[in-house]
Amino acid sequence: MLKCQALLLASLLMYSGNHEGNADIIDNYDITGSCDFEYVHPITKQTSCYLYKDEHVNWFTANKNCNENGGLLMNIETPYENNFIKKHVAKFDRNIWLGLRKTNVGDFIYSTVVRHFTDFHPDEGKPGDKGDGACVHMFTSKKQFLWNDIPCTNTEKVDGKPFAYICEFRRGEHMPWYW
């Protein structure tokens, strides 16, 4: 099993947002291993825990690694969640794979749920307009937090930044203590 570099002692941030998208930090404390940051959905109150993996792999490998460890490749499903994620990924300075992929008919859907893509923060239109790929990533460098589609097999740097990924776990479901 892969070792998690960033998770021997993680900082857990519990987040809640109101319907205007503002965020309040509820608590900040150290834990031994479960996630880098935690998000509570402002409407459903369902909690997600995110595990950052600084592994330079393609979309398929990232998705497989998350699934094999009881999670899913991060699905950003609301503008509130998008703002929360942007706040945390800035410090990583990597391109981040998202769990969003093009179907054979050209629509974008999330990797593990039957839900179509919602336009939160695309680069130049939306994924599929200018990009040439079937998988979506988030820039964290000069194109701060814009989404773009590229080939799923890509492991090369984009805009000078390598790839990483974030696995999403639902609180209460299996979460690896270290991996």
Average pLDDT score, the chain: 68
Categorize the per-residue pLDDT at 152 as very low, low, confident or very high, splitting at 50, 70 and 90: very high
Structural domains of the chain, with CATH: 10-170 (3.10.100.10)
Categorize the per-residue pLDDT at 123 as very low, low, confident or very high, splitting at 50, 70 and 90: low
Contact, 161 vs 140, CB < 8 A?
yes
Asked if the model's pLDDT at residue 9 lies above 70, the reply is: no
Asked if the model's pLDDT at residue 131 lies above 80, the reply is: no
Closest CA to 58 of 143, 163, 168, 167: 163
The residues near 36 (Cβ < 8 Å, ≥ 6 apart) are 6, 7, 10, 11, 12, 50, 51, 52, 88, 166
Contact, 119 vs 127, CB < 8 A?
no
List, for residues 21-47, the tens digit of each pLDDT value: 333 322 222 233 456 666 666 555 567
Written as six digits, the tokens of 156 are 């090369």
Query: Which residue has better confidence, 14 or 41?
Result: 41
Report the range of poorest mean pLDDT among 3-12, 50-59, 121-130: 3-12
pLDDT at 76: 83
List, for residues 37-79, the tens digit of each pLDDT value: 666 665 555 678 888 889 999 999 999 999 888 888 988 877 7
CA 170 and chain centroid, separation? 13
pTM over 0.95: no
